[in-house]
């Protein structure tokens, strides 16, 4: 069984400050890792994903995440946030390979609030 | 381009009443379809997935059922809602063989009172 833990339920930051949203996972098999974002009154959107290769993954809107296998982490970072980054962020994991159905296990979500 | 429609956005239902949430996908054919739920204070949980018409797999035992009467239509149902069915329900699709990328609908907030 897999599990995902997002260590912070809420993260308030000021505009132009850096931010890190933390995600740890547990799995007995190799995994794919994802970050999704949900803006107010919108559906989930894929922010970035790690499938293989470089452990530093760059996504949309200036976000990046680093896969650390030894620490089983996939933290999301942005060097300078904007008001428009205010949203809920979800970390997710799925089994690597296999049938590749979209059977994701999600974390509880982190609400990022950017203050002016 | 592909789009996914999910409705209604919010729904308040009494305990014991039936439920029907509908999701349709446009601009693609033979997608994989999914229903997820987020209960208060918990992560998103996969409820059902479907790889074709009439083919439904359930991930967790529950009071809900799903059906896929058409290639791009996915319906979540219940005959009698429970308080514990309250939550945020998301429909999603992915291309066959590319299940690592999901496209989500905007969700339905269901409150069972």
**What is the per-residue pLDDT across A20-36, written as a single tens digit (0 to 9) for each?**
999 999 988 888 899 99
Counted across chains A and B, CB pairs separated by less than 8 A come out at 71
Taking the C-alpha atoms of residue B47 and residue B56, their distance in angstroms, rounded to an integer, is: 10
Asked if A49 and B92 come within 8 Å (Cβ–Cβ), the reply is: no
Quote the Cα angle for B47-B81-B36, to 5°: 20
- Omega cis (within 30) before A88: no
Of the candidates B13, B54, B105, B73, the one whose C-alpha atom is nearest the C-alpha of residue A43 is B105
Pick the more confident residue, A41 or B32. Answer: B32
| Mean per-residue pLDDT, B16-38 | 93
| Mean per-residue pLDDT, A55-79 | 95
The percentage of residues in chain B with a pLDDT greater than 70, rounded to a whole number, is: 95
Per-residue 3-state assignment (H helix, E strand, C coil) for A68-104: ECCCCEEEEEECCCCHHHCEEEEEEEEECCCCCCCCC
pLDDT at A1: 74
Taking the C-alpha atoms of residue B13 and residue B84, their distance in angstroms, rounded to an integer, is: 12
CA distance B28 to chain A (A): 16
- Omega cis (within 30) before B107: no
Tens digit of each residue's pLDDT (9 = 90 or more) over B67-76: 999 999 999 9
Nearest chain B residue to A103 by CA distance is B46
- Residue A31 Cα to chain centre, angstroms: 14
For residue A100, pLDDT over 60 is answered with no
| Mean per-residue pLDDT, B87-108 | 83
CA distance A115 to chain B (A): 24
pLDDT at A98: 59
- Choose, out of A10, A36, A44, A60, the residue to mutate when testing the contact with B (most B CBs < 10 Å): A44
Quick one: residue A85, left, alpha or beta (phi over 0 = left, psi -120 to 50 = alpha)? alpha
Residues of A whose CB is below 8 A from B49: 101-103
> Please, what is the average pLDDT of chain A?
90
Pick the more confident residue, A59 or B61. Answer: A59
């Amino acid at each position: 069984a897999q599990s995902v833990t997002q260590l912070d339920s809420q993260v308030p930051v000021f505009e132009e400050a850096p931010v890190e949203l933390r995600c740890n996972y547990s799995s007995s098999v190799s995994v794919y890792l994802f970050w999704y974002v949900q803006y107010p009154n919108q559906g989930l959107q894929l922010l970035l994903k790690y499938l293989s290769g470089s452990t530093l993954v760059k996504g949309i809107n200036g976000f990046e995440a680093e896969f650390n296998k030894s620490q089983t982490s996939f933290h999301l970072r942005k060097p300078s946030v904007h008001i428009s980054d205010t949203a809920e962020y979800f970390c997710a994991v799925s089994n690597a390979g296999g049938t590749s159905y979209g059977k994701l296990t999600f974390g509880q979500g982190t609400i990022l609030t950017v203050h002016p | 381009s592909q789009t996914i429609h999910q409705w209604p956005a919010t729904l308040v239902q009494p305990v014991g009443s039936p439920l029907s949430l509908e999701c349709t996908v446009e601009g693609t054919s033979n997608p994989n379809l999914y229903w997820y739920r987020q209960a208060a204070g918990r992560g998103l949980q996969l409820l059902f997935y479907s790889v074709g018409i009439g083919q439904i797999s359930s991930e967790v035992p529950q009071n809900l059922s799903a059906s896929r009467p058409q290639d791009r239509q996915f319906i979540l149902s219940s005959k009698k809602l429970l308080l514990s069915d309250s939550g945020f329900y998301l429909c999603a699709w992915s291309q066959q063989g590319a299940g690592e990328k999901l496209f989500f609908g905007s969700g339905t907030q269901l409150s069972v009172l």
